[in-house]
């Protein structure tokens, strides 16, 4: 909510002082607008060589943890470095995983859909819903499912809990051969309510270091 909108609401509230019975309603409207604005915390900082920022629109207590990088090699012999960020809430979590490969990797919709599908199946999904939104201005894939009673298992989740997974390449681009590739893969897995992870993904921005 911008300053002009706040000013308009304050003018409306002041005018209502002369109209019996309307002051409480408009004052409450102003309070609710300001409370909504204040509830979204902006998180920003380095994760390895990347600068990551996003909003957390939640009243739940949480901390943001950035882990030390790890190295590995794919089955095709390609070296990579992985950087993990965790939003550790009192009841929910978000894992943000950045993987930087030594060479550009396939990063089209099919590749991202496979990553999301695999993550949700491993989490216990039977038939996750898959979507293709823009994430950080780049083509991405998002999937989700809710736990039902028959696939809870181990008491880790409750019936109706939402799992969301997303994948995209912050430095993805179409190469001369027409194939969309990127050196960096970003994966997000969350158990936060939909409104929270939706706003987080809508505001997610990753600054990629120069190649």
Q: Are 99 and 206 in contact (CB under 8 A)?
A: no
Determine the pLDDT at residue 158.
Answer: 53
What residue ranges do the domains of the chain occupy?
Answer: 3-36, 48-207
Asked if the model's pLDDT at residue 1 lies above 70, the reply is no
Determine the pLDDT at residue 160.
Answer: 67
Tokens of 61: 């207590």
Strand partners, 4: none
**Calpha distance 122→148 (Å, rounded):** 15
Give residue 188's pLDDT band: very low, low, confident or very high (50, 70, 90): very high
Choice among 15-24, 58-67, 169-178 with the minimum mean pLDDT: 15-24
Helix/strand/coil percentages in the chain, nearest 5:
30, 40, 30
Determine the pLDDT at residue 40.
Answer: 76
* pTM of the entire predicted model: 0.77
Looking at per-residue pLDDT, the higher value among 26 and 59 belongs to 59
Asked if the model's pLDDT at residue 21 lies above 50, the reply is no
CA 85 to chain centre: 12
């Amino acid at each position: 909510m911008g300053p002009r909108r706040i000013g308009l609401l304050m003018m409306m509230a002041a005018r209502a002082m002369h109209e019996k019975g309307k002051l409480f309603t408009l004052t409450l409207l102003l309070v609710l607008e300001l409370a909504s604005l204040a509830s979204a915390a902006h998180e920003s900082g380095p994760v390895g060589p990347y600068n990551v920022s996003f909003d957390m629109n939640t009243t739940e207590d949480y901390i943001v943890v950035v882990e030390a990088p790890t190295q590995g090699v794919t089955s095709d012999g390609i070296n990579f470095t992985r950087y993990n960020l965790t939003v550790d809430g009192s009841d929910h979590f978000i894992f943000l995983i950045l993987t930087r490969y030594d060479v550009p990797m396939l990063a089209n919709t099919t590749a991202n859909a496979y990553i999301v599908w695999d993550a949700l199946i491993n989490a216990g999904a039977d038939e996750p819903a898959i979507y293709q939104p823009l994430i950080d201005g780049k083509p991405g894939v998002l999937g989700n499912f809710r736990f039902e009673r028959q696939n809870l298992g181990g008491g880790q989740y409750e019936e109706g809990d939402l799992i969301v997974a997303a994948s995209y390449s912050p430095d993805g681009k179409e190469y001369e051969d027409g194939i969309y590739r990127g050196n960096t893969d970003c994966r997000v897995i969350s158990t936060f309510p939909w409104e929270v992870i939706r706003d987080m993904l809508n505001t997610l921005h990753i600054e990629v270091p120069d190649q």
